[in-house]
Amino acid sequence: MPSSTLVLDSRRALLAVIAAAWAGALAGAVLLAWPSPGGGSGAAPRVETRTDAAPAPGLGRRIPVSFGSLSVDSASRLTGPRRAAGLRLRRGDLPLQVAVTFVNTSSRTVRFSPSLFRLLPAAGTPAIAATGGDLAEQRVGARRARRFVLRFAVPGSARQLPDLEVRDPAAGTRTAVPLGTRRALPSFDHVGHTTGPDGRAHP
């Protein structure tokens, strides 16, 4: 036999060739019957992933809740006339403003209450409730989004700001949102409506 001749010298090899061809044909039939990309060629199956896969809580991050989602959009140091901030500030207190957005995707009205939010300072210190901003209970209509502003008087001078605890009104689950450091806190003049150093809006 010439050296350039292919030799199939075992039944196993023959069967392998036959099996490969027919298995491929079967796969082709399946692909044809189950068209995907370009009408059938996007053979690479893909694990379905969602882009909202459990991000760590933080400013500007979505927090899934029973009625849809909410987000703590910004935290800022209030500047300008202190009295007008509507806060009782003692010496050394930080006037902190937090903006939250409710996105109600449910078909029922959701009630916003400032009691859903509180600041969690260091262990052993009582939680801080909002004493300014949108203190009245308000409604977020079905399939509506709405923004609320809460103001806190944060005592102490710790560099690290306390976390903002968010409570889901229906499920009762609590999520702690880190607010970062005092140093990184942008400012917001609530009278002049001038924003902090990052140029973004901080209501």
Partner 1 sequence: MTSATTTPLVPARAGASLAALLALAAAGFAGLVERPGSVASAVVAGLASALAAGWLARRLATVAVLGGPVRAAAAAAVALIAAATAAVGSGAAALSAGDGVLAALSSTGAALVLGLLVTTPAATALLVPGARARVAGTRPVPAARGTTRRGFLQAGAGSVASAAVAGAAARGLVPDEAAAVARPFRLKITEGDITMVDGSPVFFRGFTTPDGTVPQLPGPPLGNPGPLPANPEITEGEPVRVHITNDTPRDHTFLIDRAGDEGATDPVVGPVRIPANTTTPVEISFTAPAAGTYIYRDADRNNRLLGMHGVMVVLPRAAGQNRPYAPGPDRLEIPAEVVLQFVWCVHGVDPVLGELARERFRDSVIDYPLESFLPRYFFINGKNGTEALHDESTVPVLPMQDATAAQVGCLIRCVNTGVATHALHWHGNHVFVLQRNAVPARPGLVFEKDVLRLDALQRIDVLLPAHTGLDAWPMLTPDHPKFADQVFPMHCHSEMSQTAGGGLYPMGMLTDWHLAGGSVPASGSVPVNGSTPAVEQVRTRLAEQRAAIRRSRSARGRRMRLSVSPSPAPARAGRTTRFRFRTTTVMGGRRRAVRGARIRFGGRTVRTDRTGRAAVRVRFARAGRVRARVTRSGYRTLTRIVRIGRGR
Given the rule CB under 8 A, which of 84-92, 98-106, 110-118, 128-136 is the region that contacts partner 1? 98-106
Comparing CB distances to partner 1, the nearer of 51 and 157 is 51
If one asks whether residue 169 binds partner 1 (CB under 8 A), the answer comes out as no
The beta strand positions in 42-136, using DSSP E, are 62-65, 68-79, 94-104, 110-112, 117-120, 128-129, 132-133
Kindly tell me which residue out of 79, 82, 86, 101 binds partner 1, with binding defined by CB under 8 A.
101
- Smallest Cα–Cα separation from 60: which of 182, 179, 151? 179
Q: Which is nearer to partner 1, 89 or 135 (CB)?
A: 135
Question: How near is the Cβ of 131 to partner 1 at its closest, in Å?
Answer: 22
Residues 6+ apart with CB under 8 A from 36: 42, 43
Sign of CA dihedral 33, 38, 42, 46: negative
- Tell whether residue 56 is a contact of partner 1 (CB under 8 A): yes
Q: Which of 80, 86, 169, 178 binds partner 1 (CB under 8 A)?
A: 178
